[in-house]
Amino acid sequence: MSEPTPELATQAGDDLLAELADDFLRRHRAGEHPSVKEYAAKHPELAVRIGDLFPAVIAMEQPGVNATLDFTPSAERVGATIGRYKLLERIGEGGFGVVYLAEQQQPVRRKVALKVIKPGTDTQQVIARFEAERQALALMDHENIAKVLDAGATDSGRPYFVMELVRGVPITEFCDANQLPPRERLELFVKVCRAVQHAHTKGVIHRDIKPTNVLVTLHDGAGVPKVIDFGVAKATGQQLTDKTLFTQFAQMVGTPLYMSPEQAALSGLNIDTRSDVYSLGVLLYELLTGTTPIDRETLGKAAYDEVCRVIREQEPPTPSTRLSTLGETLAAVSANRQCDARRLGQSVRGELDWIVMKALE
């Protein structure tokens, strides 16, 4: 097998660095204390760049810093106009993309979400992944998947795409805030399953199904789930972009708490629609029990290799068994589902236990 060209290796390194920086920032915002040395040790080929970048990432989180350190071109900041869209507010950020609330000026005036590549991350590899997300969304035509409305490039040449604006909250938060009983939670979950099935029929695997990527909005007083963020989607058949898209061996793609054992193997091999089914199983588990199959705190404290091992090897308890171990928190979980602990256990035990565990096989 021929060695990868230096150009490809550099691009892959840039992409992996962005992914690692995103994971490092996510853990920091979650109240963890991720170690720069840990990331550098796991990725020695990027150790110097990790040592330079990660402390700056944390520094940028300090109050008032973003106001003085903004490397975005002035023509692409809040208040500016990109194409037909005026940028109103910065509402989201990932490893290589920034999402703005924007207002379409013509031919109709409406609020939309505009996603653009971050300055400094626009390598060929990142652009390929960005375009893959745009193409994945463009393939979809389902009421429970956010729609792509437009696409283009900024004056500085960075690609962007425009999506339906989803004003919602994570499905777990929506269900708890409205104290939905198990049956109504299942009704929402079924709609999510149909949306993911639609993506699969289009040849697209999401690879990062979790509550924050399933937002619920209210329409005529009823909850409507929307699957968002196909940023790490994978095609099962046709390519999503004609640009080279390379996922480095031993690169984690997805969110550990909701990740299938195949994804935690890090090889990128054997990833198919069953990985999404597994993540849906974890989501249903959480909707029913208020917690995930793998303990959040345990996983949060574990080192990188241990996280991967636990996901691959730990056998999760059934939802009804997990409920019986919640102790004092069980009363609150039951109240959020409009039933007492005994009734909740009875409703989960049996078919729902079987359905969840079948998905987690």
Q: pLDDT tens, 314-355?
A: 888 999 999 988 888 899 999 988 888 888 888 898 899 999
Residue corresponding to tokens 């929307």: 226
More confident site: 149 or 94: 149
Check: CATH 3.30.200.20 for 74-164?
yes
Max mean pLDDT among 89-103, 170-184, 288-302 falls in 170-184
**Mean pLDDT score, 27-45:** 83
Which of 15, 176, 208, 229 is flagged as catalytic? 208
Q: pLDDT tens, 263-293?
A: 777 655 567 888 899 999 999 999 999 999 9
**Who contacts 343 (Cβ-Cβ below 8 Å, separation ≥6)?**
334
More confident site: 259 or 30: 259
Helical H segments across the chain, by residue range: 6-29, 36-42, 47-59, 65-68, 124-139, 171-177, 182-201, 261-264, 273-289, 296-301, 304-313, 319-323, 329-335, 341-348, 351-359
Which residue type occupies 134?
A: R
**Mean pLDDT score, 53-58:** 74
Residue 79's pLDDT is what? 86
Residue 354's pLDDT is what? 92
The DSSP letter of residue 145 is B
> 174-193 burial by CB neighbour count: b if 16+ within 10 A, else e?
bbbeeebebeebbebbebbb
Residue 153's pLDDT is what? 83
**Mean pLDDT score, 157-161:** 83
Q: Give the pair of three-digit tokens for residue 83.
A: 């194409």
Q: Rounded mean pLDDT of the chain? A: 79
Find out whether 24 and 57 touch, Cβ atoms under 8 Å: yes
Q: Give the pair of three-digit tokens for residue 39.
A: 């990331």
Q: What share of the chain has pLDDT > 90, as a percent?
A: 28
Rounded CA-CA distance 306/273 in Å is 25
| 71 pLDDT more than 60 | no
Rounded CA-CA distance 181/17 in Å is 42
| Coil vs helix vs strand at 114 | strand
**Mean pLDDT score, 37-66:** 74
**Who contacts 350 (Cβ-Cβ below 8 Å, separation ≥6)?**
none
Q: For 169-359, which CATH class? A: mainly alpha
Residue 121's pLDDT is what? 61
Rounded CA-CA distance 116/119 in Å is 9
Rounded CA-CA distance 143/140 in Å is 9
The DSSP letter of residue 170 is E
Q: pLDDT tens, 203-261?
A: 888 888 999 899 999 888 899 999 988 766 565 544 444 333 333 333 445 678 898 88
12 confidence band (pLDDT: 50, 70, 90): very low
Residue 94's pLDDT is what? 67
Q: pLDDT tens, 109-140?
A: 999 999 887 766 666 666 777 777 777 778 88
Q: What share of the chain has pLDDT > 70, as a percent?
A: 79
Rounded CA-CA distance 127/129 in Å is 5
Residue 28's pLDDT is what? 79
* Catalytic status, residue 208: yes
Question: Where along the chain do its domains lie?
Answer: 6-68, 74-164, 169-359
Rounded CA-CA distance 44/37 in Å is 10
